[in-house]
């Protein structure tokens, strides 16, 4: 029987999901809300926001959707899973993504820190301050060493972490967040934490609430500039596997972080069916959690999914049906690299609507659309800061990067920018 699938989101992550779902041997039809020009090649886009739960409900009922896959964090933190569970007409629809409580792992930094402390999961030491405790927070700063790491408690579209070596600037940030409501209600609390010195890694786990599978890990390149300089972005590229994440290190991650996280969710009666993305720091060979996300990463998904040979739809159905232990993951041991093409000005202001050309010249890479639309003349136009991710696979990391870079150069749009140093920091581990 055909499965009807609805995928929520509109980034490169969602195009990668759509592409991979289509490869499943299960007969299926895919809808994407709202999607982009890339997902339109894989199924039918519907212009409804993932945060419009009533709109989503209409799509689900009209198209007899069997399985909903939630890409971004926002609808999860807003409680889309609970909305489905509490609605008579939606109760039976399978949904991949945690409930509101589980989504607090990403939705509240303070909740995540307390959760890790309760379950002895290694993370930076921290203290939380409320809006009426600005003075106390400022006094606390002078009792610790720089650099100062300040984290807005709630979702802040990737802008909620401030790291500063300058105490005056850190004090001003605290005032802006706690007194001047710079981040609105997301900034009602601030977490101040110890600075961790090391190299970052993104680890992905999928769980049905009982068992779990570890997906390929990845390294993300967050800063806009080469050599990891300039402001943070959503991610400018990614590599998987990551050479320093060897068996010894990954065993520590599993024993010290993944198992206690899954057991902790269970012990606290938090039902969780979906992805857990653990952003961690490798500090001299020991892993520490920087943050939890309750979804897959972007652009990490664009290197993680191409390395999974197993049937993704079967895997997701097993998650929904709590049968994940019956699945065996088959991973491609080639190196996947992705390079993100972005609009000039990103992550600040940028223009949209630039004509994209050269896509037909790509060979040997996968093209995942992020911020793109297709106009009435069937021309592709840019429609966001991150525009297109170019992913390649090869047994050799340098060759994989070479193919991605060559194809990245072939795609043209006004103001196109991409980092040419993705992966280069990893050569020393090869």
Among 138, 144, 161, 409, binds ligand AMP (CB under 6 A): 161
The token pair that represents 65 in the structure block: 């959707």
Quick check: 385 and 203 in contact, CB under 8 A?
Answer: no
Contact flag: residue 106 with ligand GLY (CB under 6 A): no
Partner from ligand GLY, ligand AMP, none contacting 241, C-beta within 5 to 8 A by type: none
Q: How many residues are there in the chain?
A: 430
Contact flag: residue 223 with ligand AMP (CB under 6 A): no
* Cβ-proximal residues to 319 (8 Å cutoff; 6+ apart), any chain: 96, 206, 207, 208, 273, 274
Between 125 and 379, name the residue whose CB sits nearer to ligand AMP.
125
Contact flag: residue 72 with ligand GLY (CB under 6 A): no
Strand, coil or helix: what is 208? Answer: coil
Among 38, 43, 187, 235, binds ligand GLY (CB under 6 A): 235
Partner from ligand GLY, ligand AMP, none contacting 110, C-beta within 5 to 8 A by type: none
Instruction: Considering only the stretches 38-46, 99-107, 293-301, 412-420, report the one whose residues sit in contact with ligand GLY under the rule CB under 6 A.
Output: 293-301
Contact flag: residue 137 with ligand AMP (CB under 6 A): no
d(CA 377, CA 163): 46
Among 29, 127, 172, 222, binds ligand AMP (CB under 6 A): 222
Classify the phi-psi angles of 64: left when phi > 0, otherwise alpha if psi is within -120 to 50, otherwise beta: left
Among 66, 106, 300, 311, binds ligand GLY (CB under 6 A): 300
Partner from ligand AMP, ligand GLY, none contacting 193, C-beta within 5 to 8 A by type: ligand AMP
Contact flag: residue 338 with ligand GLY (CB under 6 A): no
- How many other CB atoms are found less than 10 A from the CB of residue 175? 14
Q: Least distance to ligand AMP from the beta carbon of 386, Å?
A: 16
Instruction: Considering only the stretches 34-42, 191-199, 315-323, 421-429, report the one whose residues sit in contact with ligand AMP under the rule CB under 6 A.
Output: 191-199
- How many other CB atoms are found less than 10 A from the CB of residue 229? 8
- How many other CB atoms are found less than 10 A from the CB of residue 395? 9
Among 130, 195, 249, 417, binds ligand AMP (CB under 6 A): 195
Among 171, 286, 291, 425, binds ligand AMP (CB under 6 A): 291
Contact flag: residue 286 with ligand AMP (CB under 6 A): no
Q: Between 100-107 and 109-118, two packed helices, what is the crossing angle to 10 degrees?
A: 100
Tell me how many degrees the CA angle 134-174-191 measures, rounded to the nearest 5: 85
Pick from 383, 342, 381, 388: nearest CA to 362: 388
Residues near ligand GLY (CB under 6 A) are 220, 234-235, 293, 297-298, 300
């Amino acid at each position: 029987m055909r499965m009807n699938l609805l995928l929520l989101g509109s980034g490169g992550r969602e195009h990668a999901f759509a592409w991979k779902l289509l490869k499943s041997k299960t007969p299926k039809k895919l809808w994407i809300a709202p999607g982009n020009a890339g997902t339109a090649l894989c199924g039918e886009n519907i212009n409804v926001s993932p945060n419009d739960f009533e709109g989503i409900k209409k799509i689900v009922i009209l198209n007899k959707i069997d399985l909903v896959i939630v890409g971004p964090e926002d609808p999860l933190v807003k409680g889309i899973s609970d909305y489905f569970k509490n609605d008579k007409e939606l109760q039976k629809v399978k949904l991949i993504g945690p409930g509101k409580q589980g989504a607090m792992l990403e939705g509240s930094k303070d909740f995540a820190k307390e959760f890790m402390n309760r379950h002895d999961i290694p993370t930076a030491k921290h203290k939380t301050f409320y809006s009426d405790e600005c003075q106390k927070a400022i006094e606390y700063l002078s009792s610790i060493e720089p650099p100062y790491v300040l984290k807005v408690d709630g979702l802040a579209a990737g802008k909620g972490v401030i790291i500063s070596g300058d105490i005056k600037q850190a004090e001003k940030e605290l005032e802006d967040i706690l007194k001047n409501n710079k981040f609105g209600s997301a900034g009602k609390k601030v977490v101040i934490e110890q600075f961790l010195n090391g190299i970052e890694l993104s680890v992905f786990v999928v769980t049905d609430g009982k068992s779990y599978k570890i997906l390929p890990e990845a390294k993300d390149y967050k800063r806009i500039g080469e050599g990891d300089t300039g402001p943070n972005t959503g991610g400018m590229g990614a590599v998987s596997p990551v050479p320093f994440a060897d068996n010894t290190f990954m065993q520590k991650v599993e024993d010290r972080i993944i198992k206690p996280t899954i057991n902790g969710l269970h012990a606290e009666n938090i039902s969780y069916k979906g992805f857990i993305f653990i952003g961690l720091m490798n500090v001299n060979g020991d892993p520490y959690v920087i943050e939890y996300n309750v979804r897959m990463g972007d652009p990490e998904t664009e290197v993680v999914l191409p390395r999974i040979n197993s049937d993704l739809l079967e895997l997701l159905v097993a998650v929904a049906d709590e049968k994940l232990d019956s699945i065996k993951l088959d991973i491609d041991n080639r190196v996947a690299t992705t390079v993100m093409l972005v609009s000039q000005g990103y992550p600040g202001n940028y223009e949209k609507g630039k004509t994209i050309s050269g896509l037909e010249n790509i060979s040997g890479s996968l093209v995942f659309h992020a911020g793109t639309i297709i106009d009435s003349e069937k021309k592709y136009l840019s429609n966001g800061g991150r525009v297109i991710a170019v992913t390649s696979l090869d047994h050799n990391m340098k060759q994989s990067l070479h193919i991605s870079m060559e194809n990245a150069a072939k795609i043209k749009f006004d103001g196109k920018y991409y980092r040419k140093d993705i992966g280069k920091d990893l050569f020393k581990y090869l």
